[in-house]
A and B are shown apart, each in its own frame.
Chain A
């Protein structure tokens, strides 16, 4: 056995003694740690309650939820359809902005509106 081996074996005696001396958690420490855990857990539920909904969610709620959003979507779709394909009893909206097959420029349109006004 070399001197180094002998030194290491002797150290094991100290490590063994040290392992015997420290293992117990002091009185009250475990209770404090568990109490901390409870506080942390409660802080999560408080945070969740305080969390405000996002802007889109607030708008959605303000409009009245999904029934109102359904009606709004239907009205939008109907408006787009009427724009593209108006009923025959209504005038063609293109006629308001076209004269002799050409679009009025901004100045002409303003002049026409001023004359009518």
Chain B
């Protein structure tokens, strides 16, 4: 059985899966699992928990497939919403600090020197620590807007709030991040960029 290809919409792939097409599950996994995992990792700051959340969110997607109404919403929007809800459940349970992303594997970039790579890792780690200090809703909005690259209306739909509320959350979140990172300017070398 061959892959169904990139031109097919998420909607269509989900319907194909509901009709028994296992290749559609592989394609959807390839498209959506990195997004669910990425958001969960940024929101939770814990790799093992992010894996569990991504897997559970995808299981819920599979179970929901027969009832999916094409055109009513984007599959990715639905998945982001489920992922954030699962993250929220975990955070409610633990209510502790966020772990650092020390165990996140560093993708090799042949064009990047070792020193540059270390600098990127340090910046990403610093950002994750600062994100961990934000209130949950601000962190979710900042992650979806600036790390996942979603539009404000799409974030509004995922978080079930108005577009204006999204703008307010991201603005306040960025101000807080900026304050948190300002003291590390020399350490992280971003005044040179």
Residues of A within 8 A of B (CB): 7-8, 10-11, 13-15, 17-26, 29-30, 32-34, 36-38, 40-41, 44
Contacts and interface: CB of A to CB of B under 8 A. Distances in A.
B138 interface: no
Interface in B72-104: 101, 104
A12 to B, nearest CB: 8
Contact of B47 (A26, A32, A40, A44): A26
Contact of B178 (A8, A38, A44): A8
A21 B101 contact: yes
A77 B34 CA distance: 67
A40 B17 CA distance: 10
B106 to A, nearest CB: 7
25 contacts: A11-B174, A11-B177, A13-B123, A14-B124, A14-B126, A14-B177, A15-B147, A18-B42, A18-B124, A21-B104, A21-B106, A21-B107, A22-B38, A22-B42, A24-B34, A24-B105, A26-B51, A29-B51, A33-B33, A36-B58, A36-B62, A37-B17, A37-B25, A40-B59, A41-B17
A51 to B, nearest CB: 14
